[in-house]
């Protein structure tokens, strides 16, 4: 398959669940005169398979609680998957020890949502940027490190003479530039960005997005971009993966997804974006709320809110199927040509 | 007489390091049943404007000059008792985070009935009936059950519906909604905005919608204000402002939206960021970021100039208006 040769990161059949039942004593309970042990889990990711191609910006969108951030963190190795595999350039990385993981850490970096929380308040910017470089290149001379820091600071538009300042002295947009600089400092190939602009104002969002696009061009970066903002996706993404309740419902090239969304959930999501042009919202109304990931619905996870759901949707879990136009969609309705 | 009239409002926060002016010379009017959008970046003074209308400012913030008239009455000079009879009753407010607005240790029913009994002479049973009716209006499934539930038992969208229901309880004339959907997901946001729009239209309620989302403003409101560093810099009918923005800041804001750019191309960004309120530059506060900056922008505050149905505070507009006048005289 051509797809596999070109892929940088491969996620296959990923599952992640979190226990919410507490310790042993919390799990024990009396039921009908018997002592029973009960375990409950949040099923955050349920069988997601994705591959990120070299040089692309793959956007993952979905509502809060759909598992998009969990995917990002699992890919980075910040969480261990419950089941499934993650490979980087064909090598499996999810089961490596910390030491074995080290060379991959240098190639994969992450940008977090909140620049107020992700920068150490007790470190100067210089120290923040020096740490990853020294850690990953122990043989580098001090003067080389200094030059490297100056270079990355310049590349994100932060004056190198501000290096002695602390992060609280900067505005939100500048802080996010600094976290991007920290990610770029070790010359990574792959960057996972988890909602990097949603804490910023519109005029600052544009600055940070431009910066990320510039960096991608200059350094030939690959992005896994997590966001809930579809307008940003349309502008930034090469391909888009739409998630709902821990499963992938649709995966398509950006242009195609926006011109011809196939999954009923994608269609509803698209129609809900507030647009400047039209007058009154003419959106597809979804009934009900997102079910909890503790007790997943049977069959298709979206069937409770889907206007096209039928008996098969309630029973059978749909799988991603490749359509003629290159879109991959997990929907019985699309498969049967009734949506 | 307009429903609400705000004249030359200045709001000041007296801090140890000196007074910070959060609002400067803000004036606008709102008619009965009109929907007004207030947009701007964080720190532009949008929320302070909402708070100062019903005088919810807490120390060290205070209205240093100017007035707010509601149906002709000056709200700033009312006695606390009189103000209480207007707050929550004639003017209600919806805040961003419904979890912070609702009391976590009281059931929804208790909170709704309390609000009704505080303002109306009615029996508890009647109050419960009204509360049920309002919950139905905001399309909450099985409203009887909700009355006995606590806020933590409900989802974010459901909580915000409850807050809206409480806002509507006493049939107010004006609702001030401060970022009501910012904490919610897009699909839920669309539902809530649609709901608010319908309720306002049906009951002829005026709405002040404070948000940073231009898309939401364009879909819900009839008129809009654009704020920057504590001042209104442009106001007019929403459609005109959005389709034909005059102020360089408003233009920049529109152009910075990803949907305005060609996919894959660079976005048009406004350079720099908004100055902190402690040190706003002299003259036009936008001058360090403006690409059309002239000498006069550093010296004098731009006056409001009419442009179509809009009012714009920019020297460029003022100059071109003067040129037109001179042309006429010649």
- Same domain, yes or no: B179 and B316: yes
Of B169, B184, B216, at which residue does a domain stop?
B169
**Across chain B, what does the average pLDDT equal?**
88
Phi, psi (5° rounding) for residue B251?
A: -60, -45
Mutate to test the interface with A, among B42, B43, B185, B278 (most CBs of A within 10 A): B185
Query: Six-digit token pair at A290?
Result: 């997102």
Report the pLDDT averaged over residues A141-163: 90
Q: What is the pLDDT at residue B328?
A: 59
- Same domain, yes or no: B196 and B47: yes
A237-251, A293-307, B41-55, B312-326: range with lowest mean pLDDT: B312-326
Of B120, B138, B169, at which residue does a domain stop?
B169
Torsion (CA) A105, A108, A111, A117 in degrees, nearest 10: -10
Q: Is residue B227 situated within a structural domain?
A: yes
- Same domain, yes or no: B83 and B108: no
Confidence of residue A27 (pLDDT cuts 50, 70, 90): confident
Q: Which residue of B has its CA nearest to A56?
A: B264
Å from A103 to nearest chain B CA? Answer: 31
Pairwise CA distance, residues A281 & A274, whole Å: 7
Report the pLDDT averaged over residues A148-155: 91
CATH no. for residue B322?
A: 3.40.50.300
- Flag if B194 and A204 touch (Cβ within 8 Å): no
Q: Is residue B22 situated within a structural domain?
A: yes
Three-state DSSP state, A290: coil
DSSP B71-124: TTEEGGGS-HHHHHHHBTTTEEEE-S-HHHHS-TTS-HHHHHHHHHHHHS---H
Confidence of residue B175 (pLDDT cuts 50, 70, 90): very high
pLDDT tens, B206-229?
999 999 888 889 889 999 999 999
Confidence of residue B324 (pLDDT cuts 50, 70, 90): low
Answer yes or no: are the C-beta atoms of A120 and A128 closer than 8 Å: yes
Q: What is the pLDDT at residue B26?
A: 93
Q: Is residue B21 situated within a structural domain?
A: yes
Mutate to test the interface with A, among B201, B228, B252, B258 (most CBs of A within 10 A): B258
pLDDT above 60: residue B122: yes
Interchain contact B198–A (C-beta under 8 A): no
- Flag if A269 and B187 touch (Cβ within 8 Å): yes
- Same domain, yes or no: B210 and B163: no
Q: What is the pLDDT at residue A35?
A: 84
Query: Six-digit token pair at A106?
Result: 């240098």
> In chain A, which residues have their Cβ closer than 8 Å to the Cβ of B266?
210, 213-214
User: Which of B158, B190, B266 comes nearest A210 by C-beta?
Assistant: B266
Q: Is residue B95 situated within a structural domain?
A: no
Domains identified in chain B, total number: 2
Q: Is residue B189 situated within a structural domain?
A: yes
Q: Is residue B17 situated within a structural domain?
A: yes
Its domain, for residue B151, covers 100-169
> In chain B, which residues have their Cβ closer than 8 Å to the Cβ of A281?
190, 193-194, 219
- Flag if B187 and A276 touch (Cβ within 8 Å): no
- Same domain, yes or no: B180 and B191: yes
Q: Is residue B75 situated within a structural domain?
A: yes
> In chain A, which residues have their Cβ closer than 8 Å to the Cβ of B273?
171, 173-174, 201, 203-204
- Same domain, yes or no: B178 and B155: no
Pairwise CA distance, residues B282 & A281, whole Å: 42
- Same domain, yes or no: B202 and B311: yes
- Same domain, yes or no: B21 and B145: no
Å from B214 to nearest chain A CA? Answer: 7
Q: Is residue B159 situated within a structural domain?
A: yes
pLDDT tens, B47-104?
899 999 988 888 888 888 999 999 988 987 888 888 888 888 899 999 888 888 899 9
Q: Residues of chain A whose C-beta is under 8 A from some C-beta in B?
A: 63-64, 171, 173-174, 201-207, 209-210, 213-214, 228-232, 234-236, 254-255, 268-269, 271-276, 278-281, 283, 285-286, 289-290
**CB crowding A48-65: b at 16 or more within 10 Å, else e:** bbbbbbeebbbbbbbbeb
């Amino acid at each position: 398959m051509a797809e596999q040769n070109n892929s940088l990161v491969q996620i296959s059949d990923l599952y992640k669940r979190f226990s919410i039942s507490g310790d042993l004593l919390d799990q024990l309970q009396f039921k009908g005169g018997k002592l029973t042990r009960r375990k409950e889990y949040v099923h955050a990711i349920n069988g997601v398979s994705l591959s990120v191609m070299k040089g692309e910006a793959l956007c993952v969108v979905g509502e809060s609680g759909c598992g998009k951030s969990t995917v990002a963190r699992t890919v980075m190795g910040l969480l261990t998957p419950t089941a499934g595999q993650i490979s980087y350039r064909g090598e499996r990385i999810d089961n490596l020890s910390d030491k074995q993981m080290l060379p991959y850490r240098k190639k994969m970096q992450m940008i977090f949502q909140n620049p107020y929380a992700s920068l150490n308040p007790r470190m100067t910017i210089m120290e923040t940027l020096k740490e990853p470089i020294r850690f990953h290149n122990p043989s580098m001379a001090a003067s080389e490190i200094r030059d490297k820091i100056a270079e990355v600071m310049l590349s994100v538009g932060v004056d190198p003479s501000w290096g002695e300042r602390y992060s609280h002295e900067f505005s939100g947009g500048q802080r996010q530039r600094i976290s991007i600089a920290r990610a770029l400092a070790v010359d990574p190939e792959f960057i996972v960005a988890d909602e990097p602009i949603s804490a910023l104002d519109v005029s600052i969002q544009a600055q940070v997005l431009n910066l990320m696009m510039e960096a991608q061009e200059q350094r030939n970066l690959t992005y896994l971009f997590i966001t809930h903002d579809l307008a940003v996706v349309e502008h930034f993404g090469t391909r888009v993966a739409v998630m709902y309740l821990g499963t992938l419902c649709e995966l398509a090239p950006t242009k195609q997804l926006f011109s011809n969304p196939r999954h009923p959930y994608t269609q509803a999501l698209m129609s809900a974006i507030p647009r400047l042009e039209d007058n009154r919202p003419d959106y597809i109304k979804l009934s009900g709320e997102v079910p909890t990931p503790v007790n997943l619905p049977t069959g298709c996870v979206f069937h409770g809110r889907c206007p096209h759901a039928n008996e098969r949707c309630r029973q059978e879990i749909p799988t991603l199927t490749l359509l003629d136009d290159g879109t991959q969609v997990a929907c019985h309705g699309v498969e049967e040509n009734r949506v | 007489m307009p429903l609400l009239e705000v004249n030359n409002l200045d709001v000041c926060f007296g801090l140890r390091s000196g007074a910070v002016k959060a609002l400067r010379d803000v004036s606008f009017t709102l008619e009965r049943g009109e929907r007004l959008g207030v947009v701007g970046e964080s720190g532009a003074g949008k929320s302070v404007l909402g708070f100062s209308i019903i005088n919810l400012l807490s120390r060290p913030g205070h209205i240093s000059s100017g007035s707010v008239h509601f149906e002709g009455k000056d709200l700033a000079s009312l006695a606390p008792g009189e103000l209480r009879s207007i707050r929550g009753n004639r003017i209600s407010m919806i805040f961003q985070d419904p979890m912070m607005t609702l009391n976590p240790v009281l059931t929804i029913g208790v909170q709704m009935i309390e609000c009704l009994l505080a303002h109306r002479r009615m029996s508890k049973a009647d109050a419960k009936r009204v509360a049920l009716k309002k919950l139905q209006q905001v399309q909450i499934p099985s409203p009887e059950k909700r009355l006995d539930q606590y806020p933590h038992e409900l989802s974010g969208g459901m909580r915000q519906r409850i807050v809206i229901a409480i806002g509507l309880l006493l049939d107010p004339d004006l609702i001030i909604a401060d970022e009501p959907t910012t904490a919610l997901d897009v699909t839920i946001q669309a539902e809530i905005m649609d709901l608010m729009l319908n309720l306002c239209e049906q009951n002829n309620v005026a709405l002040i919608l404070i948000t940073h989302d231009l898309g939401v403003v364009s879909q819900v409101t009839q008129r809009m204000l654009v704020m920057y560093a504590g001042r209104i810099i442009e106001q007019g009918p929403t459609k005109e402002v959005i389709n034909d923005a005059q102020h360089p800041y408003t233009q920049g804001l529109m152009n910075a939206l990803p949907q305005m750019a060609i996919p894959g191309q660079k976005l048009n960004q406004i350079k720099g960021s908004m100055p902190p309120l402690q040190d706003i530059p002299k003259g036009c506060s936008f001058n360090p970021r403006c690409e059309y900056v002239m000498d006069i922008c550093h010296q004098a505050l731009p006056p409001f100039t009419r442009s179509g149905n809009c009012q714009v505070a920019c020297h460029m507009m003022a100059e071109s208006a003067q040129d037109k006048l001179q042309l006429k005289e010649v």
